[in-house]
Amino acid sequence: MITAVAAIGIAPAAAPASAAQAQVVSSGVSLLSTTPATSTAGTSTLATGTTTGAPTSTTATPEKTAAEKAAAKKAAAKKMAAAKKRLAAKSKKLKKKVAAMKKAAAKHAAKTKNTPAGAKRTAKKMIRSMYKWNSHQFSCLVKLWNKESGWNVKARNGSSGAAGIPQALPGSKMASAGPSWQSSAKTQVKWGVKYIKSRYGNACGAWSHSVSHGWY
């Protein structure tokens, strides 16, 4: 009876021990099974590190970049040279055009210098340079000589003998201002403005006298 009870009691006691051992063993197995995963991760990390640290084409890049820079610099220089060449051609063409315009203007001025328009241009420049007369004085001069001669170098007064743009009396007085007094607007204008300056002070003074007296 005791033997039977002992047999019965031993069996239940042994079972828990086996369960505990099984649990421990099971846990150990579990832990062991986890360890390789960690090793695998480490291997993966190492593999990744090996991949990251692998040699790339950086050695060839600087050489390629230098070549590209040199090529770009050469292309830019070539482009700049072409632009300068075009600019030089345009500049030359423009200078030639300006020179032709100046020549034409000089030719026109020479051709028209003794016309009424040319005489007015001469007078305008002369009164500014000689006496510093302004545009108002020039306006008075224009009105004065429009009345006297119409700015005509060939103008003659049949009754008095006055001649030229300023209607000098006699006309030969204008010889003191320069050559060709009978046909040169410049000579006649020079004599006329000098006379006005000495007699009336300025062109508006001469014009005022002409308006009130009919002569100057």
Q: What is the pLDDT of residues 153-175, one digit of tens each?
A: 999 999 999 999 999 999 999 99
The predicted model scores a pTM of 0.56
Q: What is the pLDDT of residues 14-41, one digit of tens each?
A: 444 444 444 433 444 333 344 444 434 3
| Residues sharing a CB contact under 8 Å with residue 142, sequence separation 6 or more, in sequence order | 120
CA–CA separation, 1 and 11 (whole Å): 15
Q: What is the pLDDT of residues 41-91, one digit of tens each?
A: 343 333 444 444 445 545 556 667 988 888 899 999 999 999 999 999 999
* Residue type for position 141: L
Q: Specify the 3-state DSSP secondary structure of 55.
A: coil
From the number of C-beta atoms within 10 Å of its C-beta (0-12, 13-18, 19+), residue 180 rates as middle
* Residue type for position 18: S
| Residues sharing a CB contact under 8 Å with residue 73, sequence separation 6 or more, in sequence order | none
Give the gyration radius of the chain's Cα atoms.
Answer: 58
